[in-house]
Structure 1
Amino acid sequence: MRSISIALVTATGLLAASIAVEAKTTRSFSGSSPAEVEKNARKAGFSYPDGDMNCSSRCSQRWAKD
C-alpha cells in the first residue's frame, strides 16, 4: 500500500510540473505598422506572436512569452 501511495504522489508531482512548463503569458500589442507592433512586443519582453496581425488604421497582434 505504501509503494502505491509513493507512486501516486510522484506521478501527481510530475503531472503538475509538466502543466507549469506549458503556461504562457499573452498580451495584445498595437502600432502604426507591423514592425512597430513587433518592436513594442519585444521591448515588453514577449518572444513570439500568438495570433494573426490585424491592420486597418492601426495594427494589432497578440504576443506570448513562456
Structure 2
Amino acid sequence: MADAGVVEREVAAGPPVAVTYRLTERAQWLGPVMDARRVWAGAPANEEGQLLPHTEADEPGHGVSTDRDASA
C-alpha cells in the first residue's frame, strides 16, 4: 500500500522498534472505511459505533476490556 501511495510508513528506532502507518493525503477519503474496519475488528467504540480515542491499551499485547468481559 505504501508503494501505491495509500499509506506512509514511519519507523521509530527502539528498542523496541515501532512502525506506524498513516493514510496519505491522497487516501484521506479512506478514513471512514478504515474506522469501520477497526470497529468490525473489535476496536473500542461507543454505543453509536464511533471509535473511542486510541490508547496504549489498543496496542498488541495489552488487554482491552469490554462490557461483555464483565458479564461473563
Greater relative CO, 1 or 2 (CA 8 Å, sep 6+): 1
> Where is the strand percentage greater, Structure 1 or Structure 2?
1
> Where is the helix percentage greater, Structure 1 or Structure 2?
1
User: TM-score, normalised to structure 2's length?
Assistant: 0.20
Higher CA-based Rg = 1
